[in-house]
Structure 1
Amino acid sequence: MAMVSQVNLHTWHGILSYNSMWGKPGISCNLCHCHQGYLWLHYIALLPAAKEDIATSIDAFLAIPENFKALQSFEARNDDIILAGYPKTGTNWLEQILKDLETTAGKYTEEEINSRNSIEKEVPMISRLEFGDEKQFQMMKKLPFRRINTTHILPQILPQSIFKNKAKILLLVRNPKDTAVSYFHFYNDMPLLQSFNTWDEYFTAFMNGKLTWGSYFEYLIEWNNYIADDHVMVITYEEMKENQTLGMKKIAEFLGFSLSDDEIQTIAEKSTFKAMKEKSPETHGLFGKIIFRKGIVGGWREFFTEAQNKEMDRKFEECLGGTKIGEKIKYGIYCKA
């Protein structure tokens, strides 16, 4: 595989160059072109406003008027599906499950499938809603079927049309200890993001929200204000891992999908974490092995010290203790040493 020092990414915003001196050495051309959103992610981390405090990077990106204006130009439909979740809570996994549920429930004819495939080829892929622009959002209006969009940003920053038009929002939540460990590996494995020298260094950054997407705790505190809405459903990574079929049935009911037990089971079998990891080179290219790592519950025990456990326990109680979203996480079951 040829290694390059600079790659030009052609986007609707123009040509964005990635130089290997900015990040980890040895990044390949294919990797850069694989996922537009992640290259933008590295770009925003380099903005002047974000250099001193990496936690402000997504805020700095959206603080640029044209970027925020582009995001707000997204016109949600009431049949849209918005998958929201803090990074490394399983959004890539659940996104594929949602696509399989929608496609199966649609009972599309061969002609409709061919038409759909043709339209999808015309519409540029948006890895995350926040990285779309006005031209892409205009093109998305052509999609005649239910649209599925994934996002990591706070609810108050999302396009207001999502709430005004009551698009269905599926909020995916994962316990903070496993989220922290998964995000640690993502940071150190992703060529476009900074690396941490040690787990201890990273843990401090996570606890203080000094990461590209900000604070895990702030994210859930804000979303807790929305989960009582009838167009919002919370599902946890842990319940999907324990009984994926039951979790999918709950999701299908919430989204109004009519599916038989056999159809649910077929989708469940082909969309287990293991199955998707094996298929990830095809679906996610070179990012596959980075995005789909272990997918287990409780892996945090290999990393957390006794002091870090106590610090996380205090932080969780302080921020999410007694909240509805905190109860959903079942911290006492999944996070106690």
Structure 2
Amino acid sequence: MDSNGSVSNALSRMQMAKDMKEEDKLYRYNGVLYPRLMCPEENLQALQNMEAREDDVMLVAYPKCDKDDFPLQVLDETPSPRLLGTHLHPDNIPKSFGAKKTKMLVIFRNPKDTLVSFYHFTNSNPVLPTMQSWESFYSTFLSGDVPWGSYFDHALAWEKRMDDPNVMIVTYEELKQDLSDGVRQISTFFGFSLTEAQVQQIAERSTFTAMKENNSLGTMGNVIFRKGEVGDWRNHFTPEQSREMDEAFNKHLAGTRLGDKLNYQLHCQ
């Protein structure tokens, strides 16, 4: 589906959400909360029968999974190679993608900045229930009872797949630090051969500022993109909240390869 179609569908869902009660915007599927208008239950059920193709390319990131990520009937008619985006937990990704050895690029961001971004995204997107306060969203995020599930559950599930040659995990912070190098590594992973000029062109068009100013997104740009900074959590977290998140990170991810890759000491303390 092209970007114009995706933006149009997103705007349509936002309009529908204005007529919904807050309590009706979310539902549980296999114990995890999902937004009704972004991830309809029938789509999640149908995903299990989705057939992967050998040349599919998949981008995965916590926390947002959009209805257009897997438009199902549309995907069946999409010519190869297909670029698929999802924010599903790895256990919920159709098994055929594992069988076909689909290449998956997985992006993670430190949990403190993820929480801040998620909070603002929730309050700017009418498809999701509006949070009454930063404190309530912080507590809900830490408990894992947020749309698309627990950050730490996602992280630990991908930690188990770090040896999979068809999975590449990169961090938001790495890409912010050196986007050109990230483009080179990602292109190598997917088997693409790029000239240095192409690397630089892609990097220039992939900066946070360039994507936010993309005219094709229209008003959706302000919903999807906010600051894109590393360390903005310091403008939101109280010292007690920061310590509590440190404890949660140490409990779940300290000493893991993904935990080391996130460089938590540098970005979150």
TM over 0.5: yes
- TM-aligned CA distance change 1:147 to 1:272, over 3 Å: same
Give the corresponding residue for 1:78.
54
- TM-aligned CA deviation for residue 283 of structure 1: 2.7
**Is the Cα–Cα contact under 8 Å of residues 23 and 193 in structure 1 kept in the other structure?**
no
Q: Decide whether the 8 Å contact of 2:105 with 2:169 is kept in 1.
A: yes
- 2:242 aligned residue: 309
Q: Would you say 1:149 and 2:87 are equivalent positions?
A: no
Residue 170, structure 1, aligned to residue 108, structure 2: no
Q: 3-state SS of the aligned residue for 2:165? A: coil
For 2:16, the equivalent position in structure 1 comes to 18
Deviation (angstroms), 1:189:
0.7
Q: Distance in 1 between matches of 2:130 and 2:39?
A: 24
1:114 maps to: none
Q: Which of 109, 131, 138 does residue 76 from structure 2 map onto?
A: 138
Query: Structure 1 136/296 Cα, relative in aligned 2: closer, same or farther at 3 Å?
Result: same
Which residue of 57, 63, 68 maps to 2:34? 57
Q: Return the index of the structure with the highest Cα Rg.
A: 1
Task: Give 1:256 shift.
Answer: 0.6
Q: What is the rounded CA distance, in whole Å, between the counterparts of 1:63 and 1:302 in structure 2?
A: 34
Match of 2:3 in 1: none
**1:74, 1:137 within 8 Å by CA — same for their partners in 2?**
no
What is the distance in 1 between the residues matched to 2:199 and 2:39?
A: 38
Runs of 4+ in 1 over 6 A off after TM superposition: none
* TM-score (norm: length of structure 1): 0.70
1:321 CA displacement: 1.1
- Tell me the secondary structure at the aligned position of residue 56 of structure 1: strand
Rounded to whole Å, the distance in 2 between the matches of 1:63 and 1:266 is 37
Using a 3 Å threshold, how does the CA distance of structure 1 residues 329 and 153 change in structure 2: closer, same or farther?
same
Give the distance between the partners of 1:318 and 1:334, measured in 2 at CA: 18
Provide the rounded CA distance (Å) in 2 between the counterparts of 1:19 and 1:291.
Answer: 17
Decide whether aligned partners of structure 1 residues 127 and 284 sit closer, same or farther in structure 2, where only a CA change above 3 A counts: farther
Measure how far apart 1:80 and its partner are. Answer: 1.1
Q: Distance in 1 between matches of 2:157 and 2:196?
A: 35
User: Greater helix percent: which structure?
Assistant: 1
SS at match of 2:213: helix
Q: Does the C-alpha gap of structure 1 residues 259 and 285 become closer, same or farther in structure 2, counting only changes over 3 Å?
A: same
Question: Which residue among 93, 98, 108 is the counterpart of 1:158?
Answer: 93
Once the two structures are superposed, what CA deviation does each residue of 1:209-241 show, in whole Å capped at 9, x if it has no partner? 121111111111111111210010010000100
Instruction: List per-residue Cα deviations over 1:3-50 (Å, max 9, x = no partner).
Output: xxxxxx99xxxx9x93624258xxxxxxxxxxxxxxxxx9761x4x58
1:302–1:159: structure 2 CA closer, same or farther, 3 Å change rule? Answer: same
Q: State how far apart, in whole Å, the 2-side matches of 1:174 and 1:62 are.
A: 22
Superposed, 1:204-215 pairs within 5 Å as 204-215=139-150
User: Is the Cα contact below 8 Å between 1:73 and 1:137 reproduced in 2?
Assistant: no
Counterparts of 1:126 and 1:186 in 2: how far apart (Å)?
Answer: 16
In structure 2, the CA distance between the partners of 1:249 and 1:19, relative to structure 1 (3 Å rule), is closer
Q: Percent identity?
A: 38
The alpha-carbon deviation at position 147 of structure 1 amounts to 1.3
Question: Aligned-pair distance for 1:62?
Answer: 8.1
Q: Considering only aligned residues, what root-mean-square deviation do their CA atoms show, in Å? A: 2.9
Residues in 1 aligned to 2:39 and 2:209: alpha-carbon distance in whole angstroms: 35
Q: 2:223 is matched with which residue: 290, 296, 299?
A: 290
- Quick one: structure 1 residues 193 and 58, their matched pair in 2 at CA, closer, same or farther if it must change by over 3 Å? closer
Which residue in the other structure is 1:127 paired with? 68
TM-score by length of 2: 0.86
Shift, 1:265, TM fit: 0.7
1-structure distance, mates of 2:183, 2:77: 30
Structure 1 CA distance for aligned equivalents of residues 224 and 17 of structure 2: 22
Match in the other structure for 1:32: none
In 1, the alpha carbon distance for the partners of 2:209 and 2:44 equals 37
8 Å CA contact retained: 2:25, 2:128: no
Q: Distance in 1 between matches of 2:236 and 2:40?
A: 35
One-letter code of the match for 2:195? S
